[in-house]
Chain A
């Protein structure tokens, strides 16, 4: 039985307001990130020959996309769902200005893939801003039943408006 309804499809084209990341690019957060991906490149930590042309220590290229976290004092979905056995813990994309698609909230979320285009690294201390839109929502039948593909386009910029990267992500809901 198809999942997609006209109400769900009406989200296509919705564009968010610009959202400012709640934290600047912090040296300690970059360290934890670089260590977690096992890429302790000096350019992510201190001024060196390799980051001289970037203006000093930078964050890894995808770091700006993961900088949009729950801001201080915002509702805590983990606590709100502490008694919900179906809560899957998936909270990170709730921000970034796009509304959750109500008709898909009962479905699991899988990462389908991305198209990325990079222009500049974020420097330590910089602030990142994102604007996103639902570019497409469509359904396909699979061997495990219907799956909905939600395509989200995003532009990440510095607070000065300099383009860092563009991302076009596909989220699979089933």
Chain B
């Protein structure tokens, strides 16, 4: 589903507010195989259950960290809209997500500030499974235009520190 259809401006952002959740799944072995093929990564822990469990001692096939980070970027891109820019994203893979889980990618506005010419929004992020367990805590910084301001610079120019 494409959500990247509306404009959001710095003035619209409320500190502490959740941004729209992105849900992916249930993620099957076929999803993982399709992603492995698209990125040409043949790490067996994503498609060879015998190797994952018996050789690497994992509980099951694992959802790729590289796939989870794509979901985080999608969440932010869709929220920032075509006028915004996802500047910084960081996350840690703290827990494994086995195949079959449905992932809910969330974000919450942690703070906002105006800089020269546009606005900056800091967010907390994460990915939880059906049981509500967090696997991928992170943070992001998104630039948004002012409602009556100019478009963001592109290529993006970071604000002066």
Q: Which residues from chain A sit less than 8 Å from chain B, CB to CB?
A: 29, 32-33, 35-43, 49-50, 53-54, 60-62, 66, 69-70, 78, 85-86, 88-92, 108-120, 162-163, 170
1/0 contact trace for B14-57 toward A, CB 8 Å?
00000000001000000100110111111111001001000110
Pick from B56, B69, B136, B151 the residue with the most CB of A within 10 Å: B69
A-B contacts besides A114-B90, A118-B86, 8 pairs, CB < 8 Å: A29-B38, A61-B86, A90-B41, A91-B42, A91-B43, A109-B43, A112-B92, A116-B89
Give A115 to B87 CA distance when docked, in angstroms: 11
Q: What is the CB-to-nearest-CB distance from A79 to chain B, in angstroms, rounded to a whole number? A: 12
Q: A108 touching B56 by the CB < 8 A rule?
A: yes
Question: Sorted from nearest, which 10 A-B pairs have the closest CB atoms?
Answer: A111-B65, A113-B92, A120-B155, A36-B38, A89-B42, A115-B90, A50-B82, A37-B70, A89-B44, A90-B43
Residue positions of B touching A, CB distance < 8 A: 2, 4, 24, 31, 34-35, 37-45, 48, 51, 55-56, 64-67, 69-71, 73-74, 77, 82, 85-93, 136, 138, 151, 154-156, 158
CA distance A95 to B43 in the complex (A): 15
Check if A54 sits within 8 Å of B4, measured CB to CB.
Answer: no
Closest Cβ of chain A to B16, distance in Å, is 24
A113 adjacent to B93 (CB under 8 Å): yes
Query: Would B69 and A114 count as touching, CB distance under 8 A?
Result: yes
B70 lies within 8 A of A62 (CB): yes
In the bound complex, do residue A41 and residue B93 qualify as a contact, i.e. CB atoms below 8 Å apart? no
The distance in angstroms between the C-alpha atoms of A60 and B31, with both chains bound, is 18
Per the bound structure, the CA–CA distance linking A50 and B35 in Å amounts to: 25
Cα A71 to Cα B96 in complex, Å, equals 31
CB distance from A17 to the nearest CB of B (A): 22
A41 proximity list for chain B (CB < 8 A): 2, 4, 77
Chain A residue nearest to B96 in the complex (CB): A110
* CB contact between A113 and one of B35, B40, B91 (< 8 Å): that residue: B91
- B85 & A118 in contact (Cβ 8 Å cutoff): yes
Q: Please, which residues of chain A bring their CB within 8 A of the CB of B41?
A: 66, 90-92
Whether A32 contacts B82 by the Cβ 8 Å rule is no
Contact A69:B40 (CB < 8 A) given known A37-B71, A118-B87: yes
Give B161 Cβ to nearest chain A Cβ, in Å: 13
